[in-house]
Amino acid sequence: KAGVTQTPRYLIKTRGQQVTLSCSPISGHRSVSWYQQTPGQGLQFLFEYFSETQRNKGNFPGRFSGRQFSNSRSEMNVSTLELGDSALYLCASNTGQGRGTQYFGPGTRLTVL
Amino acid sequence: SQELEQSPQSLIVQEGKNLTINCTSSKTLYGLYWYKQKYGEGLIFLMMLQKGGEEKSHEKITAKLDEKKQQSSLHITASQPSHAGIYLCGADATDSWGKLQFGAGTQVVVTP
């Protein structure tokens, strides 16, 4: 099976812009979670989607949002970008049945100038 | 909120030597995950421990979870250059469905 894929792999944006990141889960996986990784804060949970519904949410401002499509692909959007949003954004998928192992994608490196 | 402490922060080990990384939670866990990350890349799943006292091995890597399900260790035997990277423990708390809390990570450098 193909692994989790994320596009784009690298992005450069300026403050105030918005950005959309995409994640395709492993075939058959219905849950997609998003994480932000920064040198200062480490890996932090953003939110989780299952069957097109947000099932869990971390402690991030409303500028961070997401959605999931019927084919389980997910997108994450960040509006009004700030310098502090520069990070590696990782998505992970699992079957969604119970507490399954989360398999991570390669990440999208976002740089905000 | 749950605290997850990982130690050491970094480790330099000579090729062929053993190393151990520890992960301690302030709460009882449903499960504990170990991942490896190359700098700037995604996380590679290594092992998941769920039962108190459980021990799993894969090639030269062994992970253990204590009886109370609050402490885990990752042990690498006879380290090789391929073991270099960042090791992260991820806690699946009993009161926190679907979101993993991660330790700060341990950077492992393997020298010739």
Pairing of strands B85-93, B29-37: antiparallel
What percent of chain B is predicted at pLDDT more than 90?
74
**A107 interface with B at CB cutoff 8 Å:** yes
Q: Which two tokens stand for residue B24?
A: 């301690």
Per-residue confidence (pLDDT) for residue B28, from 0 to 100: 81
How many angstroms separate the CA of residue A91 from the nearest CA in chain B?
9
Nearest CA in chain B to A101: B48
Find the mean pLDDT for residues B29-45: 92
What pLDDT does A100 receive? Answer: 82
Q: Are strands A10-13 and A108-112 parallel, antiparallel or unpaired?
A: parallel
Report the candidate in B38, B22, B49 with the shortest Cα–Cα distance to residue B83.
Answer: B38
| pLDDT at B2 (0 to 100) | 53
- Written as one string, the DSSP assignment of A4-48 is -EEE-SEEEE-TT--EEEEEEPPTT--EEEEEEEETTTEEEEEEE
Residue B99 has pLDDT above 80, yes or no: yes
**Local structure of residue A73 (DSSP, 8 states):** -
Rounded to an integer, the average pLDDT of B25-37 is: 91
pLDDT at residue A6, as a whole number: 98
Least Cα separation, residue B29 to chain A (angstroms): 12
Collect all residues of chain A within an 8 Å Cβ-Cβ radius of residue B48. Answer: 101
Pairing of strands B4-7, B19-25: antiparallel
Test A99 with B43 for CB contact under 8 angstroms: no
- Which residue, among A41, A60, A90, A99, would best test binding to B if mutated, counting the most B CBs under 10 Å from its CB? A99
- Give the pLDDT band (50/70/90) at residue B30: confident
| Neighbour count for residue B40 (Cβ, 10 Å) | 12
Res A20: pLDDT: 98
Residue B51 or B85, more confident:
B85
Residue A17 to chain B, least CA–CA distance (Å): 23
Per-residue pLDDT of chain A (113 residues; tens, 9 = 90+): 789 999 999 999 999 999 999 999 999 999 999 999 999 999 999 999 999 999 989 999 999 999 999 999 999 999 999 999 999 999 999 988 777 899 999 999 999 99
The pLDDT of residue A41: 92
Q: What does the pLDDT average to over B31-59?
A: 93
Q: Give the nearest chain A residue to B92 (CA atoms).
A: A99
Contact predicate A102/A92, CB 8 Å: yes
Query: Distance between CA B112 and CA B103 in Å, rounded?
Result: 28
Asked whether residue B1 carries a pLDDT value surpassing 70, the answer given is no
Looking at residue A70, what DSSP letter applies? T
Report chain B's mean pLDDT, rounded to a whole number: 92
Token pair recorded at residue A93: 């998928």
Q: Do A107 and B41 touch (CB under 8 A)?
A: yes
- In whole angstroms, what is the distance from residue A37 CA to residue B52 CA? 29
| CB-nearest partner of B99 from A48, A90, A109 | A48
Q: Does the CB of A88 have a partner CB in chain B at under 8 Å?
A: yes
